[in-house]
Structure 1
Amino acid sequence: MQGKDDLPLRIEWSHLNKVYTGPGDASRERPSYRQTTHTGLLDFSTSVRRGITVVLGPEGAGKSTLLRVTAMASVPDDGRVTYEMQENERYVWSKSVAAMGGIPAVEPLRGRIGYVPEKKRSNREFSLEESLFFMAQSYRIPQPKKRSAELIARWGLAGCRKEPLNELPESAINRYLLVRSLLNEPDIWLLDEPAKGLDEFGFELFCQELARRRSQGLVMIATNDMELAEAADDLLLMENGTCRRIGKRDLLTASVPDGTVASWYKTMQTFSGIHTRSK
């Protein structure tokens, strides 16, 4: 009998495209009201498997867009995402699936994905404890109150469990979002700059969780934190919405003298003419 660690657990992106449209620059002396477009993903095609994949790239490379689409929080304009959870269990997310009312077809998958977005804030007036309890109920988790209480204690949030989410300090809201993404023990964990805003204790807890999940599921981390990137099994380098390079971290970083992700990334940017910018 196959154990959970033996399941294929694979995500494949096939010719994904995503373009955003917005207003022109209104800050100029004579502002333009023409619509402008920004490419999030451009014919993006590759695949990842179980383990930790760190997604790198400069601002505007499409890292956040890739995670949003993969988390099914956004619909691609073209192409598809295929999730292979185990033998004979596959799900597809695409514009046609969403347009044909195919949301119920992927609903079982939603409960197996944990997602932490780039923008980490909440305007809700629910308390942290109430929010996690309601979320656990929505996932139909057995003993939702017990599950949420266990995570609150594990992540050091007991002292602010009664506080409204919109009044939590940045370090607490960041830990809360990580806890929320873990309520359902997801097979796929998608994290957009997860270490940003975490205090030292929160970062330590996050690293412990990351180590625990390395062999248990598929983890994707979009980040410009080179220290965090060292935790990767695989590296995925994005540029202008495309996949420029993907491979095992050890093999890719072997091409630079000190063998670090930071040096490899800097070298790749030098070759492409792209300069490092904060995300």
Structure 2
Amino acid sequence: MRIEWSHVNKVFYGKEEGDRFSYQRQAQTGLLDFTASLKQGVTVILGPEGSGKSTLLRVTAAAAVPDDGRITYQTHRSEVHVWSKSIAAMGSASPMEALRQRIGYVPQRKRLNHDTPLDESLLYLAQSYQLPQPKKRAAELIARWGLAGVRKQPLNELSRDVAARYIIARSLISEPPIWLLDEPAHGLDDWGWQLFMQELTRRRQHGITVLATNDLELAEAADHLLLMEAGSCRRIGPRKILTAGVPDGTVASWYRTMQTFSKVKTRSP
């Protein structure tokens, strides 16, 4: 399996402060000529705030369209799919539609505004993906993520820690070969953290997992590291090789070293 980004650019527009009647739309760079590739295993994306981590995951999950460049996915079955602006313009006829359901995505903002009961929500999702035995699949996830006690509770009434577990469980409904997570530890209690780490271990040999985080403890679970800066890929490689150059061999020490180097480089003439 492989994901390859080729010269991907993404600009988005945010509201700039103004008076109550007007505002300016300010262009912000999310990705700038982003080029990299990764393979099976757990890849952790690191980088300072605003470096493009969330934008990269959104575009890779096909939840956003790149302005330029392309993303190529090669699956277990040697199928090749491409996501680009021209592919997105095809709409529902896009060949990416088949892959969308095989990408699990956990966004950074974990909001649940629906009053649908938890079990019905998972069942509906399983049915919409046309999974075999959808009731069984929904029940499996409810049991695995400790949601049985709240299975009849409306989604918008779930506590923060339960909602975080539900959103992760939901992303796994189709047993996706590609799993993308943006700050997955946010909102998890100790039990949720343990369940998540077990899932991360389980999936290590069964597909591509990419997670963006500022949690350097979680980053130690990486097989590969991808360091972003200003929307571009600064470094990428196996964790063991990249961290071999720091005394204690930890991701935290390596990351601090890289950030220090970045500041020196930025201030140089």
Give the equivalent residue in structure 1 for 2:3. Answer: 11
Matched, 1:81 2:71: yes
Matched, 1:264 2:248: no
Give the equivalent residue in structure 2 for 1:151. Answer: 141
> SS where residue 209 of structure 1 aligns?
helix
The CA deviation string for residues 77-115 of structure 1, in whole angstroms up to 9 with x for no partner, is: 111000011465100000011113365411111121111
> SS where residue 273 of structure 1 aligns?
helix
> SS where residue 45 of structure 1 aligns?
strand
Among all aligned residue pairs of Structure 1 and Structure 2, give the percentage whose two residues are the same amino acid.
65
Question: Aligned partners of 1:32, 1:208: CA distance in 2, in Å?
Answer: 49
Runs of 4+ in 1 over 6 A off after TM superposition: none
What's the CA shift for 1:238?
Answer: 0.2
Correspondences of 1:243-262 after superposition (within 5 Å): 243-262=233-252
Give the equivalent residue in structure 1 for 2:267. Answer: none
User: AA paired with 1:120?
Assistant: K
User: AA paired with 1:260?
Assistant: T
Aligned mate of 2:23, from 33, 49, 53: 33
What's the CA shift for 1:21?
Answer: 1.3
| Aligned residues of 2:87 and 2:94 also touching (Cα < 8 A) | no
Gaps of 5+ in 1: 1-8, 275-279
Matched, 1:21 2:6: no
TM-score (norm 2): 0.95
Question: Aligned partners of 1:42, 1:131: CA distance in 2, in Å?
Answer: 37
Question: Aligned partners of 2:177, 2:186: CA distance in 1, in Å?
Answer: 23
What RMSD in Å do the two structures reach over aligned CA positions?
1.6
The CA deviation string for residues 171-228 of structure 1, in whole angstroms up to 9 with x for no partner, is: 0010001110111011000011111110101110110010010011100010010010
Question: Aligned partners of 2:151, 2:77: CA distance in 1, in Å?
Answer: 40
Matched, 1:130 2:120: yes
Correspondences of 1:186-197 after superposition (within 5 Å): 186-197=176-187
User: AA paired with 1:80?
Assistant: R
> SS where residue 236 of structure 1 aligns?
strand
Question: Aligned partners of 1:154, 1:87: CA distance in 2, in Å?
Answer: 27
What's the CA shift for 1:13?
Answer: 0.3
Correspondences of 1:113-124 after superposition (within 5 Å): 113-124=103-114
Gaps of 5+ in 2: 265-269
Give the equivalent residue in structure 2 for 1:63. Answer: 53
